[in-house]
Amino acid sequence: MLHYPEELVETLGAIKENMGGDIRVVIAEKEKYHTVRDALAEPARSHNIEIHLLSNYYPAGDEFEIVRSVMGVTIPPAEIPLSVGAVVSNVESIYNIGRALDGAPVVDKFVTVIGEVEYPGTFIVPIGTPADKVIALAGNITIENARIIEGGPMMGIEIDRNEPVKKTTSSFVVLPQEHSLFRKREMTVEFILRQAASACTQCRQCTDLCPRYLLGHPLEPHKIMRAAASPLSLPIDAMQNALICSECGVCDSFACPMGLSPRRVNRYLKERFATEGIRYPKESQNPDMRAERDYRKVNPEYLGARLGIATYQNQYAPLRENSVSPARVVLPLKQGLGAPSEPTVKAGTVVARGELVAKIPDGKLGANLHSPIDGVVVSVGEEIVIER
């Protein structure tokens, strides 16, 4: 938003014109980003686009939270923004739509590198580049035996250094091997369930601070934790509420005084219900936001202290010019929630940067894949490997 304000606003204007009718276009950003607001102000005004300022809390960037803040309505459980007449897109998607309007496919990705590195920064790199090549752009790793989280510290996943950049990759966080964030990730579901049965005090802080509960959804993690101790104590509909958990992590990373993980229990139940074909019964009415919501939003500074990442929280990661030209890229055919793409090339095919190498099956939602480099396809399976 800081470096490409005109391009973003012009793309939003094109989207608005294409949709026709009385369309309201809003850029939602945290009020603390003053320089971004200044960069966007005039372009937005000239295209009749609103700027809506979000308060600084976690998870302010969640689409349910954004819709509530901008429109004053709550998306029903298990629904999407479209159910209340909204579409929410992230900034990079809008940027890529603008490039697509000029005929440019998505072959590069903005990736932020922070944590235990010399020069935190944001880099534009080819999709399929190994993580270690991207992290090297931020200088040396400042510790031994570092571990890497792809995404944010709350909802990200640990990866190895050969993991390729995907269309969904936003950042790499480099942390010490013994960091507490990894300990929770390493606990087995069986251990977590035993822990819940023996240590949950039913204080209900996980529920009182749950962002979905505060929006009015019937998700009450403390009741689900009770069921872990007494499996027959709750009816199936109460257990099914685990299906509407966003897995934001407020419950286990901030709320629970016993260090338990309602999030992992909910994830386990989701997997169980999925194998049994059980879905959440959708509701027809919008839920009412709970009156205490405005007083229970999680302060990011307090959250960072709890997570042990306060040292990295305010690292400046500017957009840097240095990039990488990988000799080899790996493109998984499935890179998001949509259907996996189907290869249009085979081993030995010579491809140019930007050339289509896999497309989404007819009638399915997903994203086509294009080669991020000039090279030769060396293998095709669940991923396409291209070398220069």
Q: Which two tokens stand for residue 374?
A: 């000039």
SS3 string, 235-287, reads CHHHHHHHHHCCCCCHHHHHHCCCCCCHHHHHHHHHHHHHHCCCCCCCCCCCC
- Res 276: pLDDT: 86
The whole-model pTM stands at: 0.92
pLDDT above 60: residue 318: yes
pLDDT above 80: residue 254: yes
Q: pLDDT tens digit string along 260-306?
A: 999 999 998 899 888 988 888 877 677 889 999 999 999 999 999 99
Q: How does residue 186 score in pLDDT terms, banded at 50, 70 and 90? A: confident
Q: How does residue 231 score in pLDDT terms, banded at 50, 70 and 90? A: low
pLDDT, averaged across the chain: 93
Q: Is 4 helix (H, G, I), strand (E, B) or coil?
A: coil
Task: Check if 107-179+310-322 and 327-388 are the same fold.
Answer: no
Q: Domain spanning 327-388 has what CATH number?
A: 2.40.50
The partner residues of 54 in beta bridges, in order of sequence, read 30
Q: pLDDT tens digit string along 131-155?
A: 999 999 999 999 999 999 999 999 9
Would strands 50-54 and 26-30 be described as parallel, antiparallel, or unpaired?
A: parallel
Average pLDDT over residues 46-57: 94
Taking the alpha carbons at both ends of the chain, their separation in whole angstroms is: 33
pLDDT above 60: residue 53: yes
pLDDT above 60: residue 327: yes
Strands (E), the chain: 26-30, 50-54, 108-115, 121-126, 147-150, 157-159, 171-175, 328-332, 342-343, 350-351, 356-359, 369-370, 375-380, 383-387
* Spatial distance between the Cα atoms of 208 and 251, rounded to a whole number of angstroms: 9
CATH topology for the 107-179+310-322 domain: Ubiquitin-like (UB roll) (3.10.20)
Q: Where are the domains of the chain?
A: 5-101, 107-179+310-322, 189-307, 327-388
Q: pLDDT tens digit string along 8-37?
A: 999 999 999 998 878 999 999 999 999 999
Choice between 227 and 53, residue whose per-residue pLDDT is larger: 53
* Spatial distance between the Cα atoms of 125 and 245, rounded to a whole number of angstroms: 33
Q: Which two tokens stand for residue 200?
A: 């949950």
